[in-house]
Structure 1
Amino acid sequence: MAEPTGAVLVVIPTYNERDNLRPLLARLHRTVPGASVLVVDDASPDGTGDLAEELAAADPRIEVLHRTAKSGLGTAYLAAFAWAMERDYPVIVQMDADGSHPPEALPSMLEALADADVVMGSRYVPGGEVRNWPVHREWLSRGASLYSRLALGIPTRDVTAGYRAFRRQVLAELDLDSVASQGYCFQIDMTWRALQGGFRVVEVPITFTERERGKSKMSGAIVGEALWQVGRWGIRRMLGRPGPTTRTAPASDTDEPDAASQSAPKAVPTAASSAPAPQVPVDDDAVSDGPVRA
């Protein structure tokens, strides 16, 4: 098995993002030159996968995982997480391909791992901002977060945020085999599972900018899934019914965790560098005050 080229792997799922991929990777590597990238392409008709291969052939920091069909954001990330775990990356980052997640915010997110297990690039904490979104899209996003917070009893402000940095240990311990959520719902599901697993989740403010090129993948079906699943999980939480949170948890007949709680982090480093090739230690036990916590 090849050794990772850096401590950080940035996972970028793509479907018809040919116009966005090259400039996004250029911005990312200007900001964090040592980051490795895995492009997960769902057989994009516009040739995104071919472009990704071209970029990977010219840059050893880039690799491509091809999937045979458009199978959803959640399964794309789960496939990427499995790929990353096999290669022992200590930090795995989620980033959208459309440019809405600013690569320039990644150093501050990696720094926040000094006091966290999961770091979320948040639009809705002090200092966060949304630009160029239609009003109805922002209120849909804010409403989804509020609905999820109330239903699941979690404090995270931007529950549906898709810009995240995970410590390897989080993905190793959560029962990812039981995750079946997609879209908005996948992000909510992962937040809840991390909190249920006792991991420390913090939110770092980012400026989210609506895409300039290409079309959004948001649909009524994605919103409907989130409303249905979160409502169902909320009912289970109120009834006190358990669900899997970690790989060592007892099996159950559902694929979702029960109630959201927070405890001490599983592994907390004392520093995370924003240098070109961030190295994130995993064996220190000191905890200091940091960004907004969930």
Structure 2
Amino acid sequence: MKKEKLVIIPTFNESENIEDIIHAVMALEGDFELLIIDDNSPDGTANQVKVLQHEFQDRLHLIVRKGKNGLGTAYLEGFHYAIVNGYHYIFEMDADFSHNPQDLIRLYNACAVDGYDLAIGSRYITGVNVVNWPMTRVLMSFFASKYVQMITGMPIKDATAGFKCYKVEVLKSIRLEKIKFVGYAFQIEMKFKTWKLGFKIKEVPIIFTDRTKGTSKMSTKIFKEAVFGVIHMKIRSWFFKYKPNQT
């Protein structure tokens, strides 16, 4: 089977969601493969994945790390896995169904059919499409994206979005070992470097639905990293010429 599409899902204590999200992705047309990167969840998330690997041989992959090392480092490990193993389209996705698995097909089509290099599942491209969030969090997220737009100049309405599809050429062109951030600012930094390198970016409208099971990983520390990190990232960019493999 051709290794084409790899969906990366970082997990920490997602035992309530992991089996359902795996089955949902495996049921999609197009032979999506899944890479679960688990930070040694004490609730047994990785063990559930190992059981399901017998059912989805060659399509469900697992990396178990020693501890909780941050969202960004998990994705970077997943990107390396995807590049080494020859995947062409690499997706980021949450385990908690805040991202609708059906939208993976729309993100894929934006890259594979419409020719974009990065497709972003956007909550804010057609208004505010968020379900079950308190208004304070909706406003925080919306204005955080506005803030990122203002500081960086990126023409992206949902700068903190974590539901994405990359062509592998994008990941090969970014020096991933130079990525600075590990929290949600990681999502901003990856978009910023993709944009600065001149790749074609498409925002695909989605409806984001807050988790109904498990616990959110958002924290004040993660939010501060995003707010202050954007300024540092912009300043650093003044001292670089953005060419593939030279960021």
For normalisation by structure 1, the TM-score amounts to 0.79
Is 1:225 the equivalent of 2:225? yes
Q: 1:71 aligns with which of 60, 69, 72?
A: 69
Moved more, 108-117 or 125-134: 125-134
The Cα shift of 1:176 comes to 0.6
Number of residue pairs the alignment of both structures matches: 244
Cα RMSD for the two superposed structures: 1.6
Change beyond 3 A, Cα 1:5–1:50: farther
Aligned to 1:101: 99
Aligned to 1:267: none
Is 1:29 the equivalent of 2:29? no
Q: Deviations over 1:209-231 (max 9, x none)?
A: 00000100000000111111112
Q: Is the CA contact 2:72–2:183 (under 8 Å) kept in the aligned structure 1?
A: yes
Matches of residues 176-187 of structure 1 in structure 2 within 5 Å? Answer: 176-187=176-187
Q: Is the CA contact 2:124–2:157 (under 8 Å) kept in the aligned structure 1?
A: yes
Aligned to 1:192: 192
Q: Is the CA contact 1:122–1:128 (under 8 Å) kept in the aligned structure 2?
A: no
The Cα shift of 1:105 comes to 1.0
The Cα shift of 1:242 comes to 2.1
Structure 2, gaps ≥5 residues long: none
Q: Is the CA contact 1:149–1:159 (under 8 Å) kept in the aligned structure 2?
A: yes
Matches of residues 204-219 of structure 1 in structure 2 within 5 Å? Answer: 204-219=204-219
Matches of residues 1-294 of structure 1 in structure 2 within 5 Å? Answer: 5-32=2-29, 34-60=31-57, 61-113=59-111, 114-126=114-126, 129-236=129-236, 240-242=238-240, 246-247=244-245, 249=246
Moved more, 31-40 or 97-106: 31-40
Distance in 2, matches of 1:64 and 1:128, equals 34
Runs of 4+ aligned residues of structure 1 deviating over 4 Å after TM superposition are none
The Cα shift of 1:246 comes to 3.2
Distance in 2, matches of 1:130 and 1:41, equals 26
1:177 partner letter: E
2:99 partner letter: H
Distance in 2, matches of 1:6 and 1:82, equals 15
Change beyond 3 A, Cα 1:18–1:243: farther
Percent identity reads 37
For normalisation by structure 2, the TM-score amounts to 0.94
Structure 1, gaps ≥5 residues long: 250-256, 258-294
Distance in 2, matches of 1:70 and 1:5, equals 32
- Report SS of the residue matched to 1:19: coil
